Every structure is written in C-alpha cells, then in structure tokens.
Amino acid sequence: MTRQNVVVADTKSGINVAITMTVSNSSLFTKAVKKTRETQGGCINIPPKKVGGGARINAWVDSMRASSPTRVKSAASLSDQSSWMLRHPSALNMFEQIIEASKGKQIVMFLDYDGTLSPIVDDPDRAFMSDAMRTAVRELARYFPTAIVSGRCRDKVYNFVRLAELYYAGSHGMDIKGPAKGSKYKKETKAVLFQPASEFLPMIDEVYKALLEKTKSIPGASVEHNKFCLSVHYRCVDEKKWSMLAQQVRSVLQQYPKLRLTQGRKVLEIRPTIKWDKGKALEFLLESLGFGNCTDVFPVYIGDDRTDEDAFKILRDRGQGFGILVSKIPKDTSASYSLQEPLEVMDFLKRLVEWKQLSMRQAIQGVKSRRN
C-alpha cells in the first residue's frame, strides 16, 4: 500500500480529477476516474438549452411520482409481495443460510445511513439514529470491518453516527476516509483518504447557490449541500408543485453538462458525471483493506435506496457476499435478501455479533480441550 497524490486528466473533456489517497498499486481507481462523461443507470439526462423542456419536465415529474413509496405501495398486490419475498427473502429468516455461506471467510460490512440505520424523516437534518442502533453498530465494528456508505456529506454522516472506528464514504462514495488511527483489519496504519471529484467543488458550490435562489419560492423544498453532490428534497413539497420544482432544477442544471441528475426517495441527487458510485466505493474499500483480490472475503451491503443498487450489482458481479435491500414494498433490486425497516437491520446486526461471539467462545474452548 502506498500514498499517492494523483491528477488524472481526461483529454476529451479537459477535466482534471485530483486524488489524494493511500492505496495499493491496483489500477482500479485510475481507470474509474478517467471516464468522466459516462451515463449510468437511473440518471435523468439534462438536455441542452435548445431542446424543448415541456415533455422533459413531464418525464421528470412522472419519474418523481414513480419513486414515491406510497404510490408504489398502493400498486403492489399481496401476490406481488409474496412473489417478491420468495425472490428476496428476509435476511433474518435466512440468517443460518447466510452464516453457512460465510464460513471460512472474512465478513466486511457496508451500511447505508438514511432509511437503513435511521428512519426516513421529513427534515433531513433530524435523521438521528437511536442510541440502541449506535450501540449495535459499535459492537459490529468490534468484530467486522465496517463502513458507512451514504449520499450525505461525510462530515455530516459522521456527526450522526459518531463512531471513530468506522470507515466513512460520503457523497455517494466520492469522499472516503478511514479511521484516523488506522484499522486493525489492514496492515498499513496510514489513514485512507480518497476524493475523486475534487475538481468539481467550485462548480458544486456555484450550483448550490443557484438552486437555493431558484427553489426558495417553493414551500417545503430544501437543498442540501453534501460537498461533492447536492440533494434537492421534495418530501415536504405539495405534489402539485413538483412540476414547478423540476422546472427550476432543470433551468439551473442545463447550464452544467458536467453534472448529472439521479433520483432517490423523494430527493433529486445532483452529482459530477465521473464514473464513481457506491459500488466503486465498495470496491475501493475492499482494496484498501487488502481484500481486493481475495476469495475468502464476504462483503455484506445493506441499503434502502436506488443509489445502493450500484453496490448490490457489484456484489452480484463479483459472486461474493450479498446485498440486503431495506424496504417494506416490492422493488426492482439486485439485492439477494431484504429487511423491512431499520429495526430489522438492528436485529440482523445484533445476530451477527452474537454469532461471532459464540463462535469465538467455541474456538477458545476447543483450544483448551486439545491442550487437556
């Protein structure tokens, strides 16, 4: 593992991507950040000014409505629910099978924050995790390498979680930092720091100010600055105003072709067009921990949002570990298992810790028996 200061230039776009990181010699990262204008699944394309916007705005609003959990729930029949649960069974019900699949391998935990460790709330600044959940995550990190992977600004999600022993990947994985004192799970003691979208910071600040101005007349709308990306929340906006909100967001973003728009749960996410997401963040963290090319690693990713699908797909492609979708309603997903809400997530984490503690006690007893 070596610490590198890298600037990767894309000759087509003229964008320089600055990176400061402690990594292995793998080429994963430079390959990923060189392609800065690739479209990814789930994106809403921002047309140039000359293209008529009426139809495009209607498409945006339709997409916003489709992502509304209440609408999806009303469309889901009991038979759909049962069929979906057969394909994505409860991780709690399948716990023994999951443990059996992980035997002899190092489990590495990746956790989304909003909707996974904390409930979804109207005010994103009040998405607090419970003390019981914090205790569960702290215990989890004692036995398994653990990372929080969130669309939130890394500093903001750290202030919610307040556990220094974890890895944090904020801004959808574009701002990654390891424990300040290093990790007992990796050989290198230097801190991990990776920020592949640093060149976009002035642009993100500029768009943030413009969006604040454009959306201030829409009751309930809020714009959250997540350092390397922006979130326009419309959970508290009257549905009749969604078209107006989409129009205002479009009027700003059509001036910035190097930014892309994706959707989450009643939130519009604005990000740089570099090919980096939560799936790439998962791969980077596995590499940083020394598990990049290992066959004896078992990553587990738990998340509730569209943006977590990038990580679920990576795990499927790797054929290692599995994804768990947190949802009470059927959704298209690449996750293998499901949990219904943060309370079930906490139960699953506790069961993992209890299993690990029991297996360690049994191992110690086995050593003592052999000595006698």
Tell how strand 230-233 and strand 267-272 pair up. antiparallel
Give the residue from 65, 70, 162, 41 showing the smallest Cα distance to 113.
162
What is the C-alpha separation between 349 and 123, in angstroms, rounded?
26
Helix (H, G, I), strand (E, B) or coil at 260: strand
Annotated active-site residue in 10, 62, 80, 112: 112
Q: For residues 92 and 90, what is the distance between their CA atoms, to the nearest angstrom?
A: 5
Asked if residue 339 lies in contact with residue 89, where contact means CB atoms within 8 angstroms, the answer is: no
Contacts of 342 (CB under 8 A, 6+ apart): 115, 116, 117, 118, 119, 129, 133, 326
> Which strand (E) or helix (H) includes residue 224?
strand 222-225
* Cα 220 to Cα 233: distance, rounded to the nearest angstrom: 8
Q: What single letter denotes the amino acid at residue 311?
A: A
Active site residue 112: yes
Strand partners, 194: 176
At residue 126, the 3 state secondary structure works out as helix
Name the H helices within the chain.
28-34, 54-66, 69-75, 78-87, 95-102, 131-143, 154-161, 201-215, 242-253, 278-288, 309-318, 342-371
Check: CB of residue 355 under 8 Å from CB of residue 122. Answer: no
Residue 38, Cβ neighbours under 10 Å: how many?
10
Q: Residue 350, exposed/middle/buried by CB under 10 A (0-12, 13-18, 19+)?
A: middle
Give catalytic residues, as residue numbers: 112
